[in-house]
Amino acid sequence: MKITKIEPLVLGTPWRDLTYLRVHTDDGIVGVGETRMLGHTEALLGYFNEAARNHVIGADPFNIEALVWRMKRGDYGRAGEVVMSGIACVEMACWDIVGKALGQPVWRLLGGNVRDSVKAYANGWYTVERTPEQFHEAARAVVDRGYRALKFDPFGPGRWELEPAEVRRSVELVSAVRDAVGPDVEILVEMHGRFTPAEATRIAGELERFDPSWIEEPVPPENPEALAKVSREARLPVATGERIHDRIEYRELFGLQAADVIQPDIGHFGGLLEARKVAATAETHYVLVAPHNVGGPVLTAANLHLAAVTENFKIQEHFNDFADSHVKQAAPGLPEVEDGFFALPTAPGLGVELDVDFVREYPASGARFDLYAEDWQFRGTKGASAS
């Protein structure tokens, strides 16, 4: 079997573009991969044009390790977010092809499942004003939908440190969410790399009484020593890793014991095998894995296959029940979240099929997402009904 063509398609929403890649083979099997770029979609499409002729066309989709190595090392220049995202799309699509060719879901080909279902947490649900009353109401809707965990960033456009009034306001939002969901639902507090180590630690102390399961990316991601300082001084678990694009970059983070939970994004990390390898390394350091996922149904499906085979998996992020829920129609077949859990996919390959006509109904429109802008939490919905 040989790859004959790759076909990128982009589905647009007000705040994110979802890039799908169909990989065609000479015996008619088509696989699909997905990633979500922030502001770099055109760069990714350009990379696909070069990678297709340099590495992908003519490759055997069963030889995934060799293809990933060529794409990552064969251009000599160091692979960053764009290249690793392109590799991820091709790699996912190859697994989809292999599973379809063998009539097996991908998790069986990765060693078989260690769990029968995957706990999910909701994100994208707080497209409301930053008031305790509206966060309380929105959080209740998440629990009513069946989720047993939810994540949110209460800090507005904060950067480096907050004014005292903003600290109080942010803490009040966390308090409102905890009050809304009760003591048995996990709350996960996102910091989006906003703060200095001292400010992140101070805020973590204010949040302890609400028992969040983690604080996420408390400082910018480039400095593992700064993150280690927060981990040493804060008394809450620390999660990070969505902006790390190479598993080798995790080496220093593990050595510093800077994180309790890592969050590789399969769509930016070179695909399933790369994420599987870093998860195995994390297990040797007693670190849990909770993959970052702002993707649509294909990328979410890939995450479920990884979760199925990962012993130290914690929980799976999911946006699509609350932000742009229509994107689920792009690739039918993904299990729905029921009572807080995804069932494992059972169809061959990734278990979903891309609806090309649907994707083409929602072309990219230059989505822009700025986490330091006022009211960013609306994700393009302000003026419409909040979900």
Note the pLDDT of residue 367: 84
Note the pLDDT of residue 67: 98
Residue 233 lies in a domain: yes
Selection from 145, 224, 230, 237 nearest residue 187 by Cα = 237
Residue 219 lies in a domain: yes
Instruction: Give the residue-averaged pLDDT of 23-41.
Output: 96
Tell me the pLDDT tens digit for each residue of 198-247: 999 999 999 999 999 999 999 999 999 999 999 999 999 999 999 999 99
Residue 384 scores a pLDDT above 80:
no
The answer to whether residues 79 and 24 belong to one domain is: yes
Residue 279 lies in a domain: yes
Tell me the pLDDT tens digit for each residue of 322-348: 999 999 999 999 999 999 999 999 999
Residue 377 lies in a domain: no
The answer to whether residues 206 and 304 belong to one domain is: yes
Note the pLDDT of residue 386: 32
Residue 374 lies in a domain: no
The answer to whether residues 183 and 278 belong to one domain is: yes
The answer to whether residues 66 and 151 belong to one domain is: no
The answer to whether residues 85 and 118 belong to one domain is: no
The answer to whether residues 97 and 175 belong to one domain is: no
Instruction: Give the residue-averaged pLDDT of 293-305.
Output: 98
Instruction: Give percent of the chain above pLDDT 90.
Output: 95
Residue 368 lies in a domain: no
The answer to whether residues 229 and 281 belong to one domain is: yes
Q: One-letter amino acid identity for 356?
A: V
Listed residues 104, 128, 150: the one ending a domain: 104
Tell me the pLDDT tens digit for each residue of 128-167: 999 999 999 999 999 999 999 999 999 999 999 999 999 9
Instruction: Give the residue-averaged pLDDT of 105-116.
Output: 98
Gap between the Cα atoms of 286 and 312, Å rounded: 8
* pTM for the structure as a whole: 0.96
The answer to whether residues 184 and 294 belong to one domain is: yes
The answer to whether residues 145 and 262 belong to one domain is: yes
Instruction: Give the residue-averaged pLDDT of 17-30.
Output: 98
The answer to whether residues 143 and 264 belong to one domain is: yes
Gap between the Cα atoms of 38 and 369, Å rounded: 7
Listed residues 88, 104, 120: the one ending a domain: 104
Note the pLDDT of residue 381: 80
Gap between the Cα atoms of 108 and 300, Å rounded: 17
The answer to whether residues 47 and 141 belong to one domain is: no
CATH number at 76 reads 3.30.390.10
The band of 168, judged by pLDDT with boundaries at 50, 70 and 90, is very high
CATH number at 144 reads 3.20.20.120
- Mean model confidence pLDDT for the chain: 96
Residue 148 lies in a domain: yes
Contacts with 221 (C-beta within 8 Å, 6 or more apart), sequence order: 193, 227, 240, 241, 243, 244
Instruction: Give the residue-averaged pLDDT of 254-266.
Output: 98
Of 259 and 77, which is predicted with more confidence?
Answer: 259
Separation of CA 88 from chain center = 13
Gap between the Cα atoms of 263 and 320, Å rounded: 18
Number of structural domains found in the chain: 2
Residue 378 lies in a domain: no
Instruction: Give the residue-averaged pLDDT of 355-373.
Output: 93
Residue 333 three-state SS: coil
Give the domain extent around 135: 106-350
Say which residue the tokens 């609306």 belong to.
378
The answer to whether residues 1 and 28 belong to one domain is: yes
CB contact at 8 A, 276 and 306: yes
Catalytic residues: 192, 292
Beta strand 30-37 pairing with 261-262: unpaired
Listed residues 76, 104, 132: the one ending a domain: 104
The neighbouring-strand residues paired with 149 are 186
